Structure 1
Amino acid sequence: MEEALEGNLELKEIQRLEGHSDRVWSLAWNPVAGAAGVPAMLASSSGDKTVRVWQQSGRDWDCVAVLDEPHTRTVRSSAWSPCGKLLATVSFDATAAIWKHAGGDFDCVSTLEGHENEVKSVSWNASGTLLATCSRDKSVWIWEVLPGNEFECVSVLQGHTQDVKMVQWHPFLDILFSCSYDNTVKVWAEDIDSDDWHCVQTLGESNNGHSSTVWALSFNSAGDEMVTCSDDLTLKVWKSEIQKQQVGDGYAPWKHLCTLTGYHDRTIFSVHWSRDGIIASGAADDAIRLFVENKDGQVDGPSSPSYKLLLKKEKAHDMDVNSVQWSSKETRLLASASDDGAIKIWKLESIS
């Protein structure tokens, strides 16, 4: 695959989506839309207190819904359930809201309260039975999804010493990851005997972790590698023998593989790994960068891969790039969001 991605590519802007009146913080692709005749769908969360839902119509993208209640402050993040029928949104108003998508309409069916202040991120597990939220109050909450659109908090995880920026479930295991202003990534798992959730690993500076705020993380398609991004201007790649956990061998720790440094000179806010192995990063320098594994550059054998810059899109936006998200269905389709209030749809194409 490396040869096909070598040198002759461009990140082409397909469409600019406008409508938000403040910065756009994050983006979320509907995981079941965009294939089998179902139009692609994208949710955007903004400082204007709304979530907009965009749907592809031929070559164009249209705003098909504006979710302007019940949040009263910035909407920081959103996430679709695995079935694509529920959308969770979280806000600086300390709440999470659950929206049901049916027949083209979005109805708020539940509001989750409990965090002391700004809720920063939300994530569903692979089966759609658990929801995680995190907050500036330093806590991570795990909610169980009950019948009738009810949600019950089953655990409040206290371990971070600062604002928790992001929560993300593993792609297919019920293991939760959180990254924080305290410079760490924490890994949480449930104790089978007690049903209690606890921290099973902390990725910090002592084990080749970040030296400043960790903003985001993303997994590769196999779920055995993870990339993290930070205010320390680096991306770090981690690996776990995840298949051992599937056969009941207990927790397999994550180990540092490599650090991508020297590419960014301002904070890296977002990172996302595509299904075909391309890492995208969005940063405060208004640019988008794409990285791929450099198989030719290995010097320590297959256990020590390195990554190389595939391309850099200068001035992708007029201000900070807050979110980059590869499409869950269409390979090489990328969405980005910025402080400039715009969302852009990009296509990674070969230059003829």
Structure 2
Amino acid sequence: MDTEEETSTVLVKFTTKQQHYKLRGTMIGMTISLVIAGKKMVKNVMQKANSDIGELPHFDFIIAGQLLTCTLKERLEEAGLSLEVVLEAEFLETHPPPTPQDSLQHDDWVSTLQCCEEWMATGCYDNTVHLWDLVGLSKGKGEQAHKLTIPAHRAPVKSLTWVNTKDNIKTFISTSIDQTAVIWAWASDSNTVECVSECRGHTQSVECVAVSPSCKYFATGSWDNSLKLWKTDPVNENQAEEEDDDGPDRKKRKGDKKAKTKSSVLTLNGHSENVGGVVWTDERELATASWDHSLRIWDAEIGGMKNQINGNTAFFCLSHSSINKNIIAGCADRFVRLYDPRASGS
């Protein structure tokens, strides 16, 4: 950058939506080689506007729709703006990065967590599920908010979801590398838990789980490349009492009385690699994310695939918007991508 560019100026109009810093359209000529210095600049602007100033916090600036992290010259070039325009700079208080309020100790990796209205469930690589009181956590009680440790599986826990949290008996589902999904009933008043059903059918680790909007069904995705649908009802025609097993891998679960073995009501095949994410888009439709570089939309009613979105990298997880019906997915190439499954070639 030559000397002339170093000294070029642009007229900057400072605005804010924060009422206690309201200005009257104050404009200042600024050298484009500068990065706006938050606290000092706002103080100067307010002095020029004859505004009352007290102790000021630090500020960030938004110019042409983006947070300013470079010089004015670089921002003008990115936005395609000339020096003749009046540049509008919106300023707002800088909020410090969040700091941990508490630390909840586990004995191994925490692989998953799910919150409901008052409770949080966490899954751990030591094969356990932990239940926590969110009200206690919000009051900074930390470990005192811990309600229960459940020896839930015979291998690390991979995913969790709550099913029913409105009654005294709360139900949730955990899945594991031990190839099972387990339905649990937790009595929050007495703080006791029962293993209601053990869902068997996958031949490799069960990586993800999601419950339908009506809570009548749930779906699981697995390293065996399949998507399976199950009933949340603890009683169905496919279940039988679990046989006694005195083998070395059989561990008695907390509250395990006569857990039933449940079979899936539908298996959907099509993915060629691990199914890492699943979500219900409505009561009859699901979407899955897979390491085979595809997102797939499934019709749970007819038991087949409706749509496929191909990418150029593995998809690890996904979420669905009930408002605009779009799908957002996390990818192996470090990007988060947004898709409209209704658009051709999306």
TM over 0.5: yes
Distance in 2, matches of 1:59 and 1:218, equals 33
Distance verdict in 2 for CA 1:58–1:213, change over 3 Å: same
TM-fit CA distance, 1:12: 7.9
Distance in 2, matches of 1:219 and 1:61, equals 33
TM-score (norm 2): 0.59
2:122 is aligned with 1:114: no
Residue identity over aligned pairs, in percent, reads 25
TM-fit CA distance, 1:59: 6.2
Q: Map 1:194-205; keep pairs closer than 5 Å.
A: 197-204=262-269
What corresponds to 2:162 in structure 1? 124
2:293 is aligned with 1:233: yes
What corresponds to 1:291 in structure 2? 339
What corresponds to 1:317 in structure 2? none
**2:184 aligns with one of 143, 150, 169:** 143
What corresponds to 2:83 in structure 1? none
Distance in 1, matches of 2:121 and 2:215, equals 20
Tell me how large the CA RMSD over aligned residues is.
2.7
Name which one, 1 or 2, has greater alpha-carbon Rg. Answer: 2
Deviations 1:243-274 (A, max 9, x none): xxxxxxxxx4543101101x2x2221011101
What corresponds to 2:273 in structure 1? 212
**1:134 aligns with one of 157, 175, 188:** 175
CA contact (8 A) 2:211 2:280 kept: no
Any gaps of 5 or more consecutive residues in structure 1?
A: 1-10, 14-56, 241-251, 298-306, 309-352
Task: Answer 1 or 2: which has greater helix percent.
Answer: 2
What corresponds to 2:327 in structure 1? 279
SS, match of residue 238 in structure 1: strand
Deviations 1:69-103 (A, max 9, x none): 2x21110110012xx21000001111010000115
Task: Answer 1 or 2: which has greater strand percent.
Answer: 1
Distance in 1, matches of 2:278 and 2:94, equals 32
CA contact (8 A) 2:309 2:341 kept: no
What corresponds to 1:270 in structure 2? 317
Deviations 1:178-199 (A, max 9, x none): 1100000111113457885331
SS, match of residue 67 in structure 1: coil
2:109 is aligned with 1:74: yes
Deviations 1:3-51 (A, max 9, x none): xxxxxxxx989xxxxxxxxxxxxxxxxxxxxxxxxxxxxxxxxxxxxxx
Q: Map 1:25-40; keep pairs closer than 5 Å.
A: none
Distance verdict in 2 for CA 1:63–1:171, change over 3 Å: farther
TM-fit CA distance, 1:236: 0.1
Number of aligned residue pairs: give it: 225
Structure 1 segments, 4+ long, off by >6 Å, are 57-61
SS, match of residue 175 in structure 2: strand
**Higher-RCO chain (CA-CA 8 Å, sequence separation at least 6):** 1
Distance verdict in 2 for CA 1:121–1:183, change over 3 Å: same
TM-fit CA distance, 1:66: 3.3
CA contact (8 A) 2:129 2:152 kept: no
TM-fit CA distance, 1:114: 3.4
Distance verdict in 2 for CA 1:64–1:185, change over 3 Å: same
Q: Map 1:171-210; keep pairs closer than 5 Å.
A: 171-189=213-231, 190=233, 191-192=235-236, 197-204=262-269, 209-210=270-271
Distance in 1, matches of 2:130 and 2:273, equals 30
CA contact (8 A) 1:126 1:169 kept: no
Q: Map 1:33-72; keep pairs closer than 5 Å.
A: 62-69=98-105, 71-72=106-107
Any gaps of 5 or more consecutive residues in structure 2?
A: 1-64, 68-92, 240-259
Distance verdict in 2 for CA 1:61–1:188, change over 3 Å: farther
Distance verdict in 2 for CA 1:192–1:76, change over 3 Å: same
Distance verdict in 2 for CA 1:60–1:174, change over 3 Å: farther
